[in-house]
């Protein structure tokens, strides 16, 4: 049976057991189920043979520019003799390789102080990165198999990680109310089922930004991204956080003409907006 079918059966079984899932729960299964999740499979999803590009998959100049920024941070931190870069969601480790290469060539003093920790939840990508980075840079690079961040004195770095974390789907209702869109099963297909918010954090999220969604307007809320940032803040002993991702300001994101939200899916370099097609075989993301 194809992976998509296996995963869909599993999603339907979960819905049968506990009722409609939050979109974040659905997305956790679709992207991160340990066996069938899109990001947990034994394949590199990024680059020409994958489904989408990220900057490190295009050219090493991206890593070289970040190396400039990181060496400046190291200097501003007082040139500590021990400096750790922790890269979260490192994929196959291309960015790690490019940064270390550029530091070694252009900033050997910073390179000498640097230890690079890679955090990646996909075991196959971890093994791939470990092989080629260990060969080139030896014990300077180490792997943290757990998804969390360990105490850091240096720089925490994440490129296109936060957009890949599970988010909730919500919709504005008359009277300024908010509903959450859950994922249900109508006997033939996955369908969206509106209901009350699963957590007060969703309403708080908009209240903090002073945003009220117009009736019918959809939006995505990544509580997981907020939790990730809070965890990094806790773990950062001293240093910097460098998060690179796409996104829009609240003013742009919640413009009246953007009623459909910003959810996007990528498969074979094709962009579409149906997260319920090809479950487990496509990337799901949002701004």
Ligand X SMILES: C[S@@+](CC[C@H](N)C(=O)[O-])C[C@H]1O[C@@H](n2cnc3c(N)ncnc32)[C@H](O)[C@@H]1O
Looking at the DSSP bridge assignments, the partners of residue 192 are: 183
Shortest distance (Å) from residue 129 CB to ligand X: 10
User: What CA–CA distance (Å, rounded) separates 70 from 103?
Assistant: 9
Which residue in 70, 161, 162, 170 binds ligand X (CB under 6 A)? 161
Does 164 bind ligand X (CB under 6 A)? Our answer is: yes
Size of the site for ligand X (CB under 6 A): 20
Place of tokens 């290469």: 101
User: What CA–CA distance (Å, rounded) separates 208 from 216?
Assistant: 21
User: What CA–CA distance (Å, rounded) separates 62 from 91?
Assistant: 15
Say whether 2 sits in a helix, a strand or coil: coil
Does 21 bind ligand X (CB under 6 A)? Our answer is: no
Binding piece for ligand X, criterion CB under 6 A, among 99-107, 157-165, 179-187, 206-214? 157-165
Q: Which is nearer to ligand X, 113 or 225 (CB)?
A: 225
Does 91 bind ligand X (CB under 6 A)? Our answer is: yes
User: What CA–CA distance (Å, rounded) separates 69 from 148?
Assistant: 24
Does 90 bind ligand X (CB under 6 A)? Our answer is: yes
User: What CA–CA distance (Å, rounded) separates 147 from 153?
Assistant: 18
Taking the alpha carbons at both ends of the chain, their separation in whole angstroms is 33
Which residue in 3, 6, 28, 54 binds ligand X (CB under 6 A)? 54
Q: Which is nearer to ligand X, 63 or 261 (CB)?
A: 63
Does 89 bind ligand X (CB under 6 A)? Our answer is: yes
Q: Which residue is nearest to ligand X (CB)?
A: 89
- Within 13 Å, how many C-alpha atoms sit on residue 262's CB side? 19
**Interface with ligand X (CB under 6 A):** 39, 46, 54, 56-57, 88-91, 95, 119-122, 125, 147, 159-161, 164
């Amino acid at each position: 049976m194809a992976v998509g079918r296996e995963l869909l059966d599993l999603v339907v079984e979960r819905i049968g057991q506990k009722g409609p899932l939050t979109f974040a729960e659905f997305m956790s299964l679709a992207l991160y189920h340990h066996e069938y999740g899109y990001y947990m499979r034994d394949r590199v999803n990024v680059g020409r043979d994958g489904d989408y590009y990220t900057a490190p998959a295009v050219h090493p100049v991206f890593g070289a520019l970040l190396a400039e920024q990181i060496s400046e941070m190291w200097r501003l931190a007082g040139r500590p003799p021990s400096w750790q870069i922790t890269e979260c969601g490192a994929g196959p480790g291309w960015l790690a390789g490019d940064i270390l290469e550029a530091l070694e060539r252009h900033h050997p003093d910073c390179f000498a102080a640097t230890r690079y920790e890679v955090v990646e939840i996909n075991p196959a990508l971890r093994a791939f990165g470990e092989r080629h980075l260990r060969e080139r840079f030896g014990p300077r690079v180490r792997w943290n198999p757990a998804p969390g961040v360990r105490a850091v004195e240096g720089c925490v770095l994440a490129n296109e990680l936060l957009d890949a974390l599970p988010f909730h789907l919500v919709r504005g209702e008359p009277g300024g109310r908010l509903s959450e869109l859950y994922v249900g099963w109508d006997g033939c297909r996955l369908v969206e089922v509106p209901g009350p918010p699963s957590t007060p954090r969703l309403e708080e999220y908009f209240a903090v930004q002073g945003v009220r969604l117009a009736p019918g307007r959809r939006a995505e809320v990544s509580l997981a991204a907020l939790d990730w940032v809070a965890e990094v803040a806790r773990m950062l002993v001293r240093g910097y956080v460098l998060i690179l991702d796409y996104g829009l300001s609240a003013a742009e994101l919640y413009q009246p003409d953007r009623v459909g939200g910003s959810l996007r899916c990528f498969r074979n370099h094709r962009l579409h907006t149906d997260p319920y097609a090809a479950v487990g075989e496509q990337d799901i993301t949002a701004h």
